[in-house]
Amino acid sequence: MSTALGWLAAVGLAAGLVMGFGVAPREVTQGNVQRIMYLHVPAVWVAYLAFAVGVAGSIAYLAGRRPGADRLAHAACEVGTVFLGVNIATGAIWGKPTWGTWWTWDARLTSVAVVFVMFVAYLLLRQAIEDRERAARYAAVLSIVAALNIPLVHFSVYWWRTLHQPPSLLKPGSSTMPPEIVAALLVNFAALALLGAYFVTRRARLLAAEEEALA
Amino acid sequence: MPDNWTFVAAAYGLAAVVFGGYWRWLARKERDLAALRLPRPSRP
């Protein structure tokens, strides 16, 4: 299953590049630098999805103490952190030519940085505690607390005056974007979601093999 | 507005390095684990 997901992700990524660079038109105000959005926006959606899976795994672990649920939570939170890191870095690269700065402490950027730091802390916590059961329990609680910040990230652009623009797609009502741009975003989201699923299944399997080897 | 292709290349290049790096890290951990599981040759 993992290999099939990997190949599907590779095909999806190739299709995403064709959509982002071949099909989607040059954006009128931003120019071609807007094409970074086909990576920046889907990366954060996949990160949110991965964190949702991680929180579900954490809750399942706290409820039933099943190691499989903890492994899924660990793998999903790790992969989500990788995708969120890509989102933040590509946002900074887009921000320099567009806003004139790599970084600014506005509400959206600050809140997303807080979530990123919390999930990095989650991964460090897992490394720091030797007792596997205790590490899993503490990490599960931390992942739930960290994920509680995600709605704050989403709504920060409505609740505060920010440099970051409000959502163009994940909002009530229909999108005002041209259909080619929406299609490019969705194809790239599907491709990155497949890549994320591939990473999560492979990492969870590896965690199971590591536990088996250490037992 | 200028196209800033350098920034576009930097963003996609960085993502390729991060995802490729994570993929290689997983592959290396799997190889290390497989090596650990190989049965040790018995002493004569």
Distance CA A173, CA A93 (A): 30
Percent of all residues in chain A with a pLDDT value above 90, rounded to a whole number:
80
Residue numbers of the domain that contains A144: 2-17+35-169+191-214
- Asked if A32's CB is within 8 angstroms of B8's CB, the reply is yes
Residue to mutate among A5, A19, A21, A35, with most B CBs inside 10 A, is A35
Tell me if A83 is assigned to some domain. Answer: yes
Q: How many domains does chain A have?
A: 1
- Asked if A206's CB is within 8 angstroms of B26's CB, the reply is yes
Q: Per-residue pLDDT tens for A30-68?
A: 999 999 999 999 999 999 999 999 999 999 999 999 999
Q: For residue B1, which residues of chain A lie inside 8 Å, CB to CB? A: 29-31, 33, 97
- Cα dist from A200 to A37, A46, A207, whole Å: 24, 12, 10
Task: Compute the mean pLDDT over every residue in chain B, rounded to the nearest whole number.
Answer: 88
Tell me if A184 is assigned to some domain. Answer: no
Task: Compute the mean pLDDT over every residue in chain A, rounded to the nearest whole number.
Answer: 93
List strand residue ranges (DSSP E) for chain A, in order: none
Tell me if A174 is assigned to some domain. Answer: no
Tell me if A180 is assigned to some domain. Answer: no
Distance CA A195, CA A210 (A): 22
pLDDT at A156: 85
Give the residue on B whose Cα is nearest the Cα of A6: B23
Tell me if A181 is assigned to some domain. Answer: no
Q: For residue B24, which residues of chain A lie inside 8 Å, CB to CB? A: none
Q: What is the pTM of this model?
A: 0.92
Going by pLDDT thresholds of 50, 70 and 90, the confidence category of residue B40 is low
Which chain B residues in 1-44 lie under 8 Å from chain A, judged by CB atoms? 1-5, 7-8, 10-12, 14-15, 18-19, 22-23, 26, 29-30, 33, 36-37
pLDDT at A160: 80
